[in-house]
Structure 1
Amino acid sequence: MKVSLINGVVMGGGAGLSMNTSFRVVTERSVFAMPEVSIGLFPDVGASYFLSRLPGYFGEYLGLTGRRLNGAEMVKCGLATHFVPSKSLNLLENALQSLSTSDISTITALIDKFTEIVYLKENSPLKRLETINKCFSKGTVEEIILSLEKEIEVDGAEKWMTEALNYMRESCPTSLKIWLRSVREGRVQSIEECLKRDYNISCHFLRRTVNNDFYEGSRAKLFDKDNKAMVRQRER
């Protein structure tokens, strides 16, 4: 029985290692995101499995927009199982290490002793789930973008909408499309099937089977940091 203690940033591979454990404990310092589309990759490491099982189309939203979630939001959407203040985390870790059983009910009861109730901030995207479901349930990336644009025209530009649109417009178009299809397929597949697909797709990215977007995106975002990768890609 595995317990993940998440007391900081968990993105990409870190999310893949922790999100599929039985217990996922977060704190007020926790930050979750899957920002791979911004560097020309896609949310892999089983993300199509654990994000597709979030409420409604929240998983599509997270993967397409790279939105960061705090600990409270992770608990409320189901990415985390417990919220424990960071000041109590060492005590919890020591208590877990002293256990001589892997019984689920025993571990649950122990973690519950350190758990606190959390509340969402008013600007949390989880409080906009109805609109997110309406927009991100569309069949294509283009339709999702168009739906967000229409929502802004009708109801005004909320910050989360403009951030989502800007992020998608600046991200790799191929990566956006791959993630949308991947998360939709992952909704009815096992974790093993999702990981196998992730591996196959990642190999094609590394081999540059379709394009050079991953290498160019990594250069622009992680190394040179000129943030011009997507402009260059669209000019090709």
Structure 2
Amino acid sequence: MHERRGWAWSLAVAIVKPTLLTTTKHEWIDGDKIPAEGGCVIAMNHVSHIDPLTLAWLVYEHGRLIQYLTKDALFEVPVLKYIVRDARMIPVSRLTTDAAKAFEAACVSVRDGGCVGVYPEGTITKDPTGWPMRGKTGAARIALETGCPVIPIGQWGAQEILPPYSAKPHLFPRKTARYKVGDPVDLSDLAGKPLTNDVLHEATDRIMDAITALVAELRGEEPPAERFDPRSAGVREIGNPDKDEHGKKKGHA
């Protein structure tokens, strides 16, 4: 591994890795498709608050340190803020115009040879059956701006270890988090084109199609014919869909 491993990564390897080994099981398929070096975007579906850890473990064991685009609120949490900064995570102000700053930082990292992790959905999926939902254009924008490959990863099972928006993990009996790495998404015909909405949405659809196909293989099921869209369904785009904007359960005063 040629990338700098600061104290945050050293701490994670010393503490988080043994904890995951003790409390979870994993299945990694085609991990060798993760580029050994050079700038790239890793794009994956999001099913649990624990999957950034289980996915980072997969990427780490295949020789890379992943830099997530992660919500900026984590950079204000005592203690945690020092960890995410040392691990070179990239803050994102979700649903604001400041998200452009994250795009610029991600492009700099990719051009410097970094492995940037993006959840195109922007949050844990709101699809009632857990399938990948409509994606945002961040991963596509970074890839088309820098010319780097987009490596799709499908995952399933982390939500059984820690259900969405739950603080209580289900550790015993141990659950299995399964990951399948796909081939780079072909965006070659879009390279060099102006980054219009049409181009970005076409690239994003291809990325989400690739992720969804991998998840379908892991689940052994056919995905929905139409990808879930929180806006069309009247569901909050971020946060727990069962709670209102004040954090109270819907239907409660």
Work out whether the TM-score is over 0.5. Answer: no
Structure richer in strand, relative to its length:
2
Which has the larger helix fraction?
1
TM-score, normalised via structure 1 length: 0.30
